Amino acid sequence: MRSDEEKKKMLNLARKAIENHEDESKLKSAMTRTKLKGNSGVFVSVYVNNKLRGCIGNLNAMDIKEGISKNAIMAAYEDLRFESIRKDELSKMKIHINLLSKPKEIFPENAMELLKILETKPGLIIEKGFRSATFLPTVWDELPRKEDFLNHLCMKAGLPAEEWKKPGMKFYTYESEEFSE
């Protein structure tokens, strides 16, 4: 668990990165002034008027400052699912950060065992062939039924909804520490 001071630094860095994304010297200055250490998987979500406008992250651990600034900029301006944040929206913008634990592969023997494992509502990564997708633990708030969660995750990966019930799927769980402005 990160301290409240560290969380505040991370949120401030994400905001500075978004606000100064076109000014490399200001961005570098914000990175240098922010005293944070460690590596983590990082997701940054950006909301305007409580509506999601971008969510980008990395599952594999990387330098936390680099992950926050890079993913904040990409979430605000490069998430193709949403319109980019405009300057006049910066004051209405709220930032959420998820720090991820290292993903752990699980080996359920069947669909029923998978459903039992998911009772703790972890973050989940699925992989089959060249397709993969993840849902952060917060997605459980929107999709509380385990079957719906898995069906939507399969569709996000471009797979048939009930592909999770078939052999050949890989599953990885992870935990997430989430905080926001």
CA separation for the pair 160, 125 (Å, rounded): 16
Please, what are the domains in the chain? 4-100 (3.30.700.20), 104-175 (3.30.1490.150)
CA separation for the pair 132, 155 (Å, rounded): 10
Please answer whether residues 43 and 74 qualify as being in contact, where contact means their C-beta atoms are separated by less than 8 angstroms.
Answer: no
Task: State the pTM of this model.
Answer: 0.85
Q: Which residues, 6 or more positions from 16, have their beta carbon under 8 angstroms from its beta carbon? A: 26, 27, 30, 69
What are the start-end ranges of the H helices in 4-50? 4-19, 24-33
Three-state DSSP class for residue 96: strand
pLDDT tens by residue, the chain, 181 residues? 888 999 999 999 999 999 988 878 777 777 677 788 889 999 999 999 999 999 999 998 999 999 999 999 999 999 988 999 999 999 999 999 999 999 999 999 999 999 999 999 999 999 999 999 999 998 999 999 999 999 999 999 999 999 999 999 999 999 999 999 9
Q: Which of 110, 109, 108, 4 is nearest to 124 (CA)?
A: 108
CA separation for the pair 105, 101 (Å, rounded): 12
